[in-house]
Amino acid sequence: MTIVFLFIGIGLVLAVCIFLNQTQFGKNPDRVYFEVARNSPNFIDGEFRNQIPTPLFTDDSSVFSVIMKSLFTKPDRLVPAMPLPSVKTDLRSLVRDKDIVIWLGHSSYYLQLAGKRILIDPVLSPYASPFFLFNRAFEGTNVYQVSDMPDIDYLLITHDHWDHLDYPTVKMLESRVGKVICGLGVGFHLLEWGYPADKIVEADWFTRLKNPEGVDIHVLPARHFSGRGLVRNRTLWVSYALVSPKRRIFVSGDTGYGPHLKQIGETLGRFDLTILENGQYDKRWAYIHMMPEETAQAAVEIGAKALLPAHSGKFAISNHVWKDPFIRLARASYDKPYKLLTPVIGEPVYLEDEKQIFSHWWEKCE
């Protein structure tokens, strides 16, 4: 029996190794790259660190216990009971000199700014995980495909988690992307997936990528973590500020609430639009994701004129009711000095139109 169990154990280990070796997991930076990464003040003892202490969990939970609970405990209304509304705008037909933002679901956005086409964290697959059965998109939310995308000047990746860096989407986009902007180390995944090195621009926090053609890209901090497999924090998670002669846009990526948000606001001034994470929160991981009330406060501290919520409305990664992020943020925004923008997936937000009105569409959905 001992020999039988030994062979079973060896078989399981080999199966896991084979599974984790799939191309979709990407590739972590090598030892040579770590010598380069040591020049970053954010790379300490072989891994990237947040600006302030950030435990993954607020209690004694483990990754395994959280996964097991999510698999076997399904709260009511985690997923909508009906298809969610959407509008499929023809992205290729949009006039390029119009500054527009279009939510593609979850944390994926298409932007036009100063004539540039920008795509942020595109996840156009019907699921956001290594397994097609898990983390599937809500019905009605996966309306865009890679074939719908026009040529992209800048592909921005905030970090390498599955719901932000989608292998099939990014792989198929390669021929249509001019440059990829990402945090330190993330480029190793892209190289593994066929992107040429001259297309990839990696940057550390507080890096300004100056563009004489009109859109400066600031790579900025977030409070989160990274990793697509068993190894964490070998690549850097980032937020972005996009600054054109007319407009300033901030994109948080995944982040917990922290002093970096106020610091960014004080450093770069008021933003015409902030796109902040608002969803997939839980008291157990309150340091790495914001509660909706914190999202509202962060928008104030960063100096937002308008707030567009992200990280909700397409996938159920946490155990809150699917529409709660919208309900709570709308309530928290009631007396705030910014305008809350709530388009449906695919609905254009025209940045020059400050009077554009959006519905509370989730109120009609169950």
Of 265, 267, 284, residue with least CA distance to 70: 284
Q: What is the pLDDT along the chain (366 residues), one digit of tens a residue?
A: 565 444 454 444 444 445 456 799 999 998 888 888 889 999 999 999 999 999 999 977 766 566 656 655 667 799 999 999 999 999 999 999 999 999 999 999 999 999 999 999 999 999 999 887 789 999 999 999 999 999 999 999 999 999 999 999 999 999 999 999 999 999 999 999 999 999 999 999 999 999 877 899 999 999 999 999 989 999 999 999 999 999 999 999 999 999 999 999 999 989 999 999 999 999 999 999 999 999 999 999 999 999 999 999 999 999 999 999 999 999 999 999 999 999 999 999 999 999 999 999 999 999
Residue 13 pLDDT: 40
Residue 34 pLDDT: 85
Report the alpha-carbon distance of residue 36 to residue 20 in Å, rounded.
26
Residue 65 pLDDT: 62
Burial environment of residue 153 by CB neighbours within 10 A (0 to 12, 13 to 18, 19 or more): buried
Residue 24, domain member (yes or no): no
Residue 106's domain comprises 91-364
Residue 85, domain member (yes or no): no
**CATH at residue 307:** 3.60.15.10
Residue 1, domain member (yes or no): no
Number of structural domains the chain divides into:
1
Residue 61, domain member (yes or no): no
Residue 345 DSSP class: B
Residue 32, domain member (yes or no): no
Residue 270, domain member (yes or no): yes
Residue 1 pLDDT: 58
Residue 73, domain member (yes or no): no
Residue 13, domain member (yes or no): no
Residue 6 pLDDT: 47
Residue 73 pLDDT: 64
